[in-house]
Amino acid sequence: MRLRRAASLAIIEEEGRGVVVYLAQEGRGIGLLNKIKAYTLQEKGFDTVDANLRLGLPVDLRHYGVGAQILLDLGLSTIRLLTNNPKKIIGVEGYGLTVLEQIPIAVTPNPHNLAYLRAKANRLGHVIHHQGLAVDESAASPGLHDARPAAPNLPADPGT
């Protein structure tokens, strides 16, 4: 999260304008205590989705209405959205904003986050980018997806 936030701020700084709206929806809206419980399950081998489900929680409880209202109150009606999560586009458009462009936030895979990024891409539909290369279903070298071989510059999935 901290790296994505820093990357987002760098993109906004480069653009010379932008708005950051932070909504306290820890752990995709399940709350801090449940997020800690989910982390414990992830340490036991569950991915981020299965950890929520094992706790009897929905995969994603976030709501985007407050954030959309803040942007509308600022006078915005069309935006370029910094996100890897296509569902956020649907979420804010449902409140009257028009998303002109989804701008991905580059995330560098490493041994500590690879399984998490793979779950985000494969199970939650996130578009994960690395070094300017899209590593999603439509990419020629989708390194994070289990069904295809890893791109040369991304670590292979040890489970394949």
Residue 9 sits in a domain whose CATH number is: 3.40.50.10990
- Check: CB of residue 27 under 8 Å from CB of residue 35: yes
Please state the domain count of the chain.
2
Q: Is the pLDDT of residue 107 over 90?
A: no
- Among 106, 130, 147, where does a domain finish? 106
- Check: CB of residue 95 under 8 Å from CB of residue 114: no
Selecting among 62, 118, 136, 146, the annotated active-site residue is 62
Give 24 or 47, the one with higher predicted confidence. 47
Active site residue 62: yes
Active site residue 136: no
39 and 113 co-located in one domain: no
Selecting among 5, 17, 28, 60, the annotated active-site residue is 60
39 and 80 co-located in one domain: yes
Query: Which residue segment(s) compose the domain that 12 sits in?
Result: 2-106
pLDDT at 19: 93
The model's pTM is 0.68
102 and 159 co-located in one domain: no
54 and 76 co-located in one domain: yes
